[in-house]
Chains A and B, each alone.
Chain A
Amino acid sequence: MASSAPAPAPRLGRKRPLPACANPLFVRWLQEWRDEAAGQGRRARFVYQKALRSLLRYPLPLRSGKEAKILQHFGDTLCRMLDQRLEQHLASGGGKPVSELP
């Protein structure tokens, strides 16, 4: 690549602050399931833990469990669980899973 050209001075700007966590509900549910599984000594806790690790690295808000399928360690079962939980959550008057930007 062009090595002789000096790097241009970076443009300065203000970035819109993003919520600390893009998917707080999904994170909370995965933590719940992980802790539940751990309490019962089920190996499923590793599945939830792995999924949680990729979810925490993903910066975009997910609108559904199905959409989480693109993340590492999110299989069909887990995505379905998230969708079911989301349905219950919305039915009981809970807010949307995504944190809207200010």
Chain B
Amino acid sequence: SAQKINRPPKVPITPMPSYSIMETPELKKELDRFGVRPLPKRQMVLKLKEIFQYTHQILPSDSEDEIQA
């Protein structure tokens, strides 16, 4: 079926990793991917959540093509 113009394609949405239970070295490694320096642990968890939420904003599904009969 024709994809509507100016709407991004549907992609699998990965759930947020469990940053809260990650160990410090793993948190550092995750933040390194985003160019962020090592921070106090609590701050690293918050920053990773912030990044995840910002980069995984889901558009509300619209009724036109979402509702299945």
B-contacting residues of A (Cβ < 8 Å)?
10-18, 53-60, 70-72, 74
**What residues of chain A lie closer than 8 Å to B10, measured between beta carbons?**
12-14
- B residues near A, CB below 8 A? 7-14, 32-37, 39, 47, 50-51, 54-59, 61
How far is B61's CA from A10's CA once the two chains are assembled, in angstroms? 16
Query: Which of A13, A16, A56 has the largest count of B CB atoms less than 10 A from its CB?
Result: A13
Q: Which 5 A-B pairs have the closest CB atoms?
A: A54-B35, A10-B12, A57-B35, A16-B57, A14-B59
Output the least CB separation between A30 and chain B (Å). 12
Which residue of B13, B32, B34, B50 contacts A15 across the interface (Cβ within 8 Å)?
B13
| Max chain A Cβ within 10 angstroms of own Cβ: one of B8, B39, B47 | B8
Chain B's nearest CB lies how many Å from the CB of A29? 16
Closest chain A CB from B45 CB (angstroms): 14
Query: For the complex, what is the distance from the CA of A11 to the CA of B61, rounded to whole Å?
Result: 13
